[in-house]
Structure 1
């Protein structure tokens, strides 16, 4: 396996954001006297804003006032991500430090909006490692479409086949595989189903394990 760049998802992969976002959604549902449909919520992981709206509207039905729900949800979520450091996932700094020492450029390809993603990276101190940021508001088609990963590769000026991609979600894995990247998945809230496993990518318990595998492959 040869690679010249590394492209990371952000939420649930580098940062333990998904649990924070899910709790904010749960609190918003409670405030608006709506049920918390966990299966519906888990279907949005890895989606951009348009995909999230589509999944939630479909799951809750046509009577849902989605803008009202989203406004309440984001009013609870944004103060956290814009003012607090979100905990980093296990092995994140060690992997980023090692890739940097190997002179491998690092990019982030996230479904989040630019402002949100930049704030999360800065507050966590991870922005110093990232040479390129591609966000959900910059693409027409969100994950599982490969567009955002192709954009990240283009900005790095590295062919997708020579990029490592790191993801937690099924939507993200599908996007990175479709882009032709070498994919490592570290599942977060949603475990890979048989159809995801059948894609043949690498699945690990943590980014620390991914680092150990990459280091071992060099020996």
Structure 2
């Protein structure tokens, strides 16, 4: 069994991907031509600035910063209070801790959003460490967020698994030396998550729990 379990938050523990993408779509439309929702879905979970470089390639850096600031404002004012946590998260966390596991959160979100998500989840007593968007400059698939979570847990990557809902979570985990597992609650297919390196994929976190408990940690390099 793994010693450390690192969880993404948005789309993995909290059902907020549609709201996040809609707020980004609305923010982009205030600065230029609209971008289809399905296009934005392809980059859900990717670092925000990298996403904008792909979907609005002509936007200057200053414009991208303005779009991201507007997206955050729209999300907080229009969508944040309507999101909810997925069912069974507390039970999964409790089970892992009872079996000797240590839990960390590794999420690009920060500030009021993260505070609100934690209030929805009600799992603070099971969390050993948090690494969030306030701690690093770049989001996933950059591995530094996962690396920070590992350091806070006091573990090497070979003893930990990252659980997320996007290929970018898996890529960040593998680059940091950890294993990766995935859930389908973020809108990506099982094939996409497996191709990104997940050793197991399930519909939601409760169904993934047996794989997390029985999987063997990665051998030390």
TM-score by length of 2: 0.81
CA-CA distance at 1:196 after TM superposition: 4.6
Asked if structure 2 preserves the Cα contact closer than 8 Å seen for 1:132 and 1:156, the reply is yes
CA-CA distance at 1:106 after TM superposition: 1.0
- Cα-Cα RMSD: 2.9
- The correspondence of residues 135-146 of structure 1 with structure 2, limited to 5 A, is 135-146=132-143
Cα gap change, 1:30 to 1:10, in 2 (>3 Å): same
Superimposed CA distance per residue, residues 126-163 of structure 1 (whole angstroms, 9 cap, x where no aligned partner): 33332211013322443212211111111111221111
Residue of structure 1 aligned with 2:110, choices 107, 113, 121: 113
Cα gap change, 1:121 to 1:56, in 2 (>3 Å): same
Cα gap change, 1:195 to 1:73, in 2 (>3 Å): closer
Residue of structure 2 aligned with 1:150, choices 117, 124, 147: 147
Superimposed CA distance per residue, residues 167-219 of structure 1 (whole angstroms, 9 cap, x where no aligned partner): 1111110011222223211132222556852635211111111123345679x
Asked if structure 1 preserves the Cα contact closer than 8 Å seen for 2:6 and 2:160, the reply is yes
CA-CA distance at 1:41 after TM superposition: 1.8
Q: Which moved more, 1:123-132 or 1:11-20?
A: 123-132
- The correspondence of residues 83-94 of structure 1 with structure 2, limited to 5 A, is 84=81, 86-94=83-91
CA distance in 1, matches of 2:11, 2:92: 16
Structure 2: unaligned runs, 5 residues or longer: 217-221
Structure 1: unaligned runs, 5 residues or longer: none
Cα gap change, 1:175 to 1:198, in 2 (>3 Å): closer
- The correspondence of residues 1-219 of structure 1 with structure 2, limited to 5 A, is 2-29=1-28, 34-47=33-46, 51-63=47-59, 65-79=63-77, 84=81, 86-187=83-184, 188-193=186-191, 196-197=194-195, 199=197, 201-214=199-212
CA-CA distance at 1:93 after TM superposition: 2.1
Cα gap change, 1:177 to 1:85, in 2 (>3 Å): same
CA distance in 2, matches of 1:195, 1:103: 27
Asked if structure 2 preserves the Cα contact closer than 8 Å seen for 1:7 and 1:165, the reply is yes
Cα gap change, 1:67 to 1:214, in 2 (>3 Å): closer
Superimposed CA distance per residue, residues 50-85 of structure 1 (whole angstroms, 9 cap, x where no aligned partner): x31232144223257434433432222013576x37
CA distance in 2, matches of 1:168, 1:9: 8
